[in-house]
Amino acid sequence: MRKPEHHHNHNHHLHHHHHQYHRRWQWWCWIAPFLPILLPILTITLLLLFPHRSPNPPPPVNNPPPPPPPPPPTHSPPPTPPRLFYLISGTKEDGPRLKRILLATYHPNNLYLLHLDLAASFEERLDLMVFVGADLVMSDVGNVRVVEDSDHIVHDGPTIISSLLHAVAKMFKDGRSWDWFINLGPEDYPIMSQDDVLHVFSYLPKDLNFVEHTSVLGWKESQRVRPMIVDPGLYGSKKTDVFWLKERRMIPSSFKLFLGSSGVILTRSFLEFCIWGWDNLPRTLLMYYTNFLSSPESYFHSVICNSKDFQNTTVNHDLRFVSWDNPPKQHPANLTEKDFEKMVESGAIFGHEFPSGSVVLDRIDKELLGRTVDEFVPGGWCGEEGNNGCNVVQNPLILKPKNESWRNLERLLLRVLDRNVFRSRQCI
């Protein structure tokens, strides 16, 4: 019968299939424990044999170039030069000397006020105005003025102080900023360039007042302090000498007197105090000095040393080179060529006093200032090298100091500002 045979074959097939399935299960059970080890190995092998390749590989990325290395450190730029305000004063026949001083001290960053007193003729004053107006640099920069409403000044009288305060008030009204005030007369002359001065002053605190002073009166007590004078310039129209009163007065007790040289270098802030006088000290002392002989040698000295706000700003030096006779006289000796080396080594900015037409001035122009006749002192502001280039202002803030000159001034300032000297010599 066919069915049993078919059934037998079917059973045989099932038995064979079951046997194969059992063997496969045994093999899988045997290999399963090794899968954690075999799979990583197999994966790495396949990646090495068949690396992945994208059909469209992305374009290469252009990384930005690395930033350039920082520049090497450089020195900090020099400080901005200060602005100096010069008052250059004289009397009749002093016009040529004032012109020479102006050319020797001129710098386009500074301010200048020229004053010829009422003893000078109108023609002299007009000649000074024409001189300033005809110069291309001075007229273009506009930093030089000639006082038109001149003051009446009497030598050794208080009208000198009045005129000086008048000039300062004019510059305040002008509105332009400045840092230090310097007064010069016809007997003064610079012994270093403005580039030298401005270079050194750029590094100074702007609250320092250079006033040579002392409270030791000595012989001046009987010759200056106790006598009383009257200055005709306060009320008269003609220039005459001061005259003396019979009365003598006591030394003041409400303030302390200080004496020194008439040449000063004063800060704007201190002169604002002298003009405004918010605590009345400057006005009180101005009235006292109305009857004081040679008040320019004492007024500012006493005001600054009696003011708590300014007495600690004083430097006991006027930065002028002066030679005295032995024994000293009322006025310094005239400077000559024999004083030349001492002037240079002193580090002073100006010399006082030079007689009119002194040959030593020509030597100063040639050897110290590098200036030729009727020309400015060459400086960093000039358009080109040499005097011809000084007909054009390139940059008034560029300075070209000369090593020897400014270093002498620097040494002088280091000496007077030394901590062991500076405070101990203030208002003594």
pLDDT digits (tens, 9 = 90+) for 260-318: 999 999 999 999 999 999 999 999 999 999 999 999 999 999 999 999 999 999 999 99
Q: What is the pLDDT of residue 33?
A: 56
* Residue with tokens 């066919």, as numbered in its chain: 2
Higher pLDDT, 255 or 44: 255
pLDDT higher than 50, residue 25: no
Q: What is the pLDDT of residue 39?
A: 54
* Residue with tokens 């900015």, as numbered in its chain: 349
Q: Residues for the chain: how many in total?
A: 428
How far, in Å, CA of 151 to CA of 112, rounded? 17
Higher pLDDT, 95 or 155: 95
What is the rounded average pLDDT of the residues 187-200? 97
What is the rounded average pLDDT of the residues 43-55? 48
What is the rounded average pLDDT of the residues 181-193? 98
What is the rounded average pLDDT of the residues 79-100? 98
This prediction's pTM: 0.82
pLDDT higher than 60, residue 73: no
How far, in Å, CA of 344 to CA of 351, rounded? 10
Domains and CATH numbers, the chain: 84-424 (3.90.550)
How far, in Å, CA of 299 to CA of 132, rounded? 32
How far, in Å, CA of 269 to CA of 293, rounded? 27
Q: What is the pLDDT of residue 15?
A: 47
- Least confident range from 108-117, 160-169, 238-247, 374-383: namely 238-247
How far, in Å, CA of 179 to CA of 401, rounded? 20
Q: Which of 52, 119, 427, 42 is nearest to 257 (CA)?
A: 427
Q: What is the pLDDT of residue 287?
A: 97
Q: What is the pLDDT of residue 54?
A: 46
Strands of 5-108 (E only): list them.
Answer: 84-90
State the pLDDT confidence band at 402, using cuts at 50, 70 and 90.
confident
pLDDT in tens, 323-338: 998 877 778 999 999 9
Cα(first)–Cα(last) distance of the chain, in Å?
153
Q: Which of 217, 196, 146, 224 is nearest to 410 (CA)?
A: 196
The total of other beta-carbon atoms located within 10 Å of residue 367's CB is: 10
Higher pLDDT, 389 or 281: 281
What is the rounded average pLDDT of the residues 173-199? 97
Q: What is the pLDDT of residue 184?
A: 99
pLDDT higher than 90, residue 58: no
- Least confident range from 176-180, 292-296, 348-352, 380-384: namely 380-384
* Residue with tokens 């400086």, as numbered in its chain: 379
